[in-house]
Amino acid sequence: MYVFENRFAGKTMLITGGTSGIGKAACLRAAAEGAFVVVVGRNAERGQAVVDEIVQKGGKAIFLAADVTREEAVQALFAEIDAKVGPLDIAINNAGVVGHGERIDEMPTEEWNRVINTNLNGIFFCCREEAKRMIARGQGGAIVNVGSVTGLTGFYRSSAYVTSKHAVNGLTKAMANDLAPFNIRVNSVNPANTATPLTAASAQEIQQKIQAAMAAGKSLEEAKAETMIGGKTTALLKRSSTPEEQVGAILYLASDDAGYVTGVPFATDGGWTAY
């Protein structure tokens, strides 16, 4: 992991979904670059483990538990941040889930709501509280929302996920307009497949569906057509990204190096949307 020494010295950075995958990698690197990191997630054991790793390496961090899909929980989270941490300089809204791969005519309302509540409402609840505090403080700030390559294009059997991530990019652009007068920059990153526990679990679920379809008499090709994302299945770079590669883009957008960048849906997709 490459580190820009003291890039975030004196800065306080909130990172949701900070207990694994891209969020955890962002917490570790931000702390190594001098930030005081507020690690947010639902799993207290994993969250405290991230904090312990940061502290062991000489960094500063605190874990606060919250379910960002619940408005009252987010309000309580930010009240706790106000009391225990103080003002935020930077916020990385990373918490998210993937869909289960239903076609639109098969999509249960419960699944639609699960994905939208986490990927869109959770980011909205956090962004609203972040914006309130950054405006009141009057010293500007930076917000980075984690979207997806699916927020830049369309995918097969992913209607809830695609909708949620397109909405994240729309929210990001709207916020950039609202908050520019206060010197608060808002951008998003949009990864293609990244090697994280979340995507590993999704890949395992796809394989289980393929096996079930074949057990029901479908050919391998038929089973894949019913369960996997259609069209191209890889980026121009022909590999998945690492969490650290995604974090490089996230922390660039959060840093003063991106001081003239706002309202941008940044494609960190290995060239997926270039063709």
Could you tell me which residues come within 8 angstroms of residue 3 by beta carbon, excluding any fewer than 6 positions away?
A: 29, 32, 33
Residue 194 contacts residue 240 (beta carbons within 8 Å): yes
Q: Is the pLDDT at 200 greater than 50, yes or no?
A: no
Q: Which residues are catalytic?
A: 161
Q: Judge whether 217 lies within some domain.
A: no
Residue 169 contacts residue 189 (beta carbons within 8 Å): no
- Residue 169: which region, alpha, beta or left (left: phi > 0; alpha: psi -120 to 50)? alpha
Residue 228's pLDDT band (boundaries 50, 70, 90)? low
Q: Judge whether 173 lies within some domain.
A: yes
Q: Which residues pair with 265 in a beta bridge?
A: 188
Q: Judge whether 158 lies within some domain.
A: yes
Q: Judge whether 209 lies within some domain.
A: no
| Domains in the chain, number | 1
pLDDT of residue 2: 80
Residue 129 contacts residue 78 (beta carbons within 8 Å): yes
3-state secondary structure of 11: coil
Range of the domain at 102: 12-195+237-269
Q: Judge whether 40 lies within some domain.
A: yes
Burial class (CB in 10 A: 0-12, 13-18, 19+), 104: exposed
Q: Judge whether 246 lies within some domain.
A: yes
In 3D space, the residue among 221, 217, 128, 117 whose CA is nearest the CA of residue 178 turns out to be 128
- CATH code, domain carrying 131: 3.40.50.720
Rounded distance between C-alpha atoms, residue 22 and residue 54, angstroms:
15
pLDDT tens digit sequence for 148-167: 999 999 888 899 999 999 99
Strand order of the β-sheet with 12-16 is: 60-65, 36-41, 12-16, 90-93, 141-146, 184-189, 265-266
From 103-117, 136-150, 195-209, 228-242, the region with the lowest mean pLDDT? 195-209
pLDDT tens digit sequence for 22-80: 999 999 999 999 999 999 999 999 999 999 999 999 999 999 999 999 999 999 999 99
From 95-109, 161-175, 219-233, the region with the lowest mean pLDDT? 219-233
Q: Judge whether 3 lies within some domain.
A: no
Q: Judge whether 118 lies within some domain.
A: yes
